Amino acid sequence: MKRTLFTVALIALVSTTLFAAPLTANEIMTKVLDTQKADSAAMDLKLTLIETNGTQRERRIQTLTKSVGDDTSSITVFLSPESVRNTRFLTKETNGQSEQYIYLPALKRVKRIAASEEGGSFMGSDFSYADMASTTYDTDEAVHTLIAEDGDTYTVQSVPNKKNVYGKNVVVVDKTTFLPLRVEFYDLDGKTLLKTLVTEQQDYVGDRPITKVIVMTTVASGHATRIEILQARYDMPISDNYFTLKYLETGR
């Protein structure tokens, strides 16, 4: 009996290994996005801007994000440095239209500003606003090609359909967690390497794998930005009251 069970188990294991269909590039990138997808998120982040001479500047921010359908709203609060503490930044999406508001405590006023262009720098860092939204493309946004595979990783090349910021990305994906371990961002010509993103540390929030520490480096200048997730919570109920004029003005 034992032998029979062992044989069945072995056959099942071998079958899975030998006959499982290899993942396509689209399936890999879908898994990458699904792994990072959340209806809501609360993050406590530390941004470290690293000069080529090693000088570092730190920014501490906390952000709430909530998606309803295809619309995503987010509120970001600056905690440090002291000169920008309590600056609050709200992005609201309604039917795909984005509105951005900023509250500057020194002026005690809320000001509406233009939505940032995708390529604009986020807080003077090496991340663009597009990078902060996602460092990889969805299957309907780019043509994905699996260009390499080893025991631990897939390497996928993504050429976006609309080349707004980058001409090509090359993503190295962890086979276990489906998190991006390294992303290379190329210029619109598809040849010049602009930036590299490296995941320095992975972690888990519950069962969800996350990239806890990532570093983006601008190749031309050598300037780098390190983002560390100090705390994160996902898929919990977030009140709409956070994405309001009241919260911007009062912080409550």
Partner 1 sequence: MKRILTLFLIVTLALPLFAFDFFFDEEEPQTTRNVSFTMDSGVQAFFNDGELSPYANLTLKAEQDGAKYRAFAEVSYDSTLQSLEAQEISLSLFLGPVTLKAGLMRHSWGTADTAHVVDIVNGRDLRKGIVDDVEMMKRPDWMLTLSTYGENSAFDMVVKPGFNPSLVATDGKFSMTDPMMSMLDSFIPTILNHLDPTELPITEMDTHTLSAISIGGRYRFMFDPVDVGFMYYYGYYPDFGVKLSLSGGDLANGIPFDLKGVHLLYTRYHFIGIESSYFFSPFTLAVEGGMFLSEDSKGTDYSLYNSKLVYLAELSYTNPNNSFFAALNYQGQMVLNYDPRLLPIPEQYLEADLLASFNGKPYQNNFTLAMEYPFMREKMKVRVAGTYQMESLGYMVLGSLTYDLDDAVEVFAKATVYGTFDESRMGLYNTWKENSQIQVGVRAWF
79 touches partner 1 by CB under 8 A: yes
What is the C-alpha end-to-end distance of the chain, expressed in Å? Answer: 66
**83 is an interface residue for partner 1 by CB under 8 A:** yes
If the CB atoms of residues 104 and 143 are measured against partner 1, the closer one turns out to be 104
Q: Specify the residue, 99 or 138, whose C-beta has the smaller distance to partner 1.
A: 99
Residue type at position 191: K
Verify binding: residue 220, partner 1, rule CB under 8 A. no
Q: Does 120 bind partner 1 (CB under 8 A)?
A: yes
Q: Does 190 bind partner 1 (CB under 8 A)?
A: no
Q: How many residues at the interface with partner 1, by CB under 8 A?
A: 49
Work out the angle at residue 30's Cα, subtended by the Cα atoms of residues 130 and 198, and round it to the nearest 5 degrees.
Answer: 50
Tell me if 194 sits within 8 A of 187, measured CB to CB. Answer: yes
**Out of 77, 130, 146, 173, the residue judged to bind partner 1 by CB under 8 A:** 77
Report the candidate in 181, 202, 200, 204 with the shortest Cα–Cα distance to residue 50: 200
Q: Which of 29, 32, 47, 64 binds partner 1 (CB under 8 A)?
A: 64
Question: Could you give phi then psi for residue 3, rounded to 5 degrees?
Answer: -65, -40
Per DSSP, helices labelled H in the chain are 2-19, 25-36, 129-133, 245-250
**Burial status of residue 222 (CB atoms within 10 A of its CB: 0-12, 13-18, 19 or more):** exposed
Task: Give the binding range for partner 1 (CB under 8 A) out of 13-21, 50-58, 163-171, 198-206.
Answer: 50-58
Contact residues toward partner 1 (CB under 8 A) are 42, 44, 49, 55, 57-60, 62, 64, 77, 79-83, 85, 99-100, 106-109, 111-117, 119-121, 123-125, 223, 231, 233, 236, 238, 242, 244-246, 249-252
